[in-house]
Every structure is written in C-alpha cells, then in structure tokens.
Amino acid sequence: MLSIGGGAGSYTLTSTNDAQQVATYLWNNFLGGQSSSRPLGDAVLDGIDFDIEEGTTQHWDELARYLSGYSKQGKKVYLTAAPQCPFPDAWMGGALKTGLFDYVWVQFYNNPPCQYSSADLTSKVLPAIKSSAKYGGALKTGLFDYVWVQFYNNPPCQYSSGNIAKLVNAWNQWNSIPATKIFLGLPAAPNAAGSGFIPVADLTSKVLPAIKSSAKYGGVMLWSKYYDDRTGYSSSIKSSV
C-alpha cells in the first residue's frame, strides 16, 4: 500500500479534474498502469491508503472513485484509510461515505474524548465492542477495503486513564460504517503519540480477547515502526493478535 497525506506538509485537491489527474498518476506510477518513471520499478502495489489530516475536505471522495474504477482493468485496487476517532472524521467524512474503502484503521489515540481509558475498560468498553460487526468501526460508505482508525492524539475518542465512555461512544459510531476489515490504531510507545497508549498487558489480556471474534476484526495498526523497533510492542502482542 502507498499512503498519501500525513500529519505534516502541504497537500490538497483543488477540483474534480485534480482528483482525476492524481488518480491517473498513482495508477501509472505505483499500481497497474505504465510509466517510464515508476519510483519502485516493476513493483505493483495493492492499493492506496488515505491518511488525510489537513488541507481541503473536498474531492477525496472523487479520488477514491477514480482509483476504485481502475479495478475494472484487472487487479483490484484496494483502498484503505486512517481517520482519527472523533466521528465523523473532519477531512475524510465525505470520502468514507462512498462505500469504496476496504479497510479503515481508526486512530484511537491522541484523542482523549474517544480513546481507551483504563478506569472502566472491562465494564464499559469491552461490552460495547465485543459484539461489534466491524471491529474498530469505520466508514459508512462500504467502499474502503481496510480502515485503520487512529485512536490517539484525539482527546474526544482515545484511551485515557479513568475515562472509557468517550472511546465507547466513538467506537459505536465508527462501527456503523461498512468496511471489509477494521483495525485498532495505537501508538507503539508512550512517547509515540501525545496520548492514547495502551499497555501490552491491558491489550492482550482484556481488549483483544473480547474483540477477536468480531466478523470484521482485522488486527492492530501501530504508529510507528521507529518506536516499535525500540519497544518491541508488536513482538509482545503478535501471538495474541
């Protein structure tokens, strides 16, 4: 997957034509198209991940439609997104309503109002998400293949000690969106995000056992490899995921 956007830099889509041109560029240079200047050579990526955290809120839905349209030419183009847990997402709300995203990785960190809080995890959070049809919840559109919800850096919906109600509320809203797989987005270390870190013991003994039976459970998304290499977070949880 090639991730576009990010939390820094300057990027935007100015028009429908702009969205179409970007889709064409991505198809020819990273997906199944042809170009004399492909950065990765003959490698053909599976799809595009939308990590839109600034700029305009318009035309991302059109970019998703144009990219999805290339699936008709052969290999399926997967679309994923990493919105933050406050619902609806400020930038991706419109695009997620298209139903084109396969996976949505919701960032349930750096957002206290909707992130995990250890105080009443077992009494409120787990009961609320255990029967969820789409673990991690996301995207009312049904068009995205994978959804990585960023439950961090967003006080309204992330993990925070002593307060789980906000996370549950956000979780329920994200769960109303159709997606193939939903992933729980978390920081791989306490300092990897401003807030929202969940200790390994809590994740493996309380959270994962309650949500792995979900029909749309996809796994855990971590930010980032840099921090994971230093904490070994993924190695500590992989047997439970």
**Residue written as tokens 């992330």?**
158
124 touches 81 (CB < 8 A): no
How much is the mean pLDDT over the chain?
84
Asked if 86 contacts 128 with a C-beta cutoff of 8 angstroms, the reply is no
Pairwise CA distance, residues 162 & 230, whole Å: 27
pLDDT at site 129? 61
Query: How far is C-alpha 153 from the chain's CA centre?
Result: 14
Q: Is-catalytic flag, 53?
A: yes
Could you name the CATH architecture of 2-237? Answer: Alpha-Beta Barrel (3.20)
Give the pair of three-digit tokens for residue 40.
Answer: 């990765």
Closest of 217, 202, 196 to residue 131, by C-alpha: 217
Answer with the residue of higher pLDDT: 212 or 224: 224
Q: How would residue 36 be classed by pLDDT, with cut points 50, 70 and 90?
A: very high
Of 116, 108, 201, the C-alpha closest to 163 is 116
What pTM does this model have?
0.71
Q: Distance between CA atoms of 159 and 153, rounded to whole angstroms? A: 10
Q: How far is CA 217 from CA 14, 77, 181, 206, in A?
A: 35, 21, 6, 15
167 contact partners, CB below 8 Å, separation of at least 6 = 85, 108, 114, 115, 116, 117, 125, 151, 157, 158, 159
Q: How far apart are CA 158 and CA 117, in angstroms?
A: 7
d(CA 234, CA 241): 9
More confident residue, 150 or 37: 37
pLDDT of residue 162: 47
Query: Can you tell me the distance from the alpha carbon of 203 to that of 207, in angstroms, rounded to the nearest whole number?
Result: 5
Instruction: Calculate mean pLDDT across residues 95-113.
Output: 90
Point out the least confidently predicted range of 130-134, 171-175, 222-226, 229-233.
130-134
Q: What is the pLDDT of residue 196?
A: 83
* Cα–Cα dist 133/177, whole Å: 10
Which of 13, 27, 52, 53 is an active site residue?
53
160-201, pLDDT tens digit by residue? Answer: 664 556 666 676 677 677 777 778 889 999 999 998 888 888
The residues spanned by each domain of the chain are 2-237
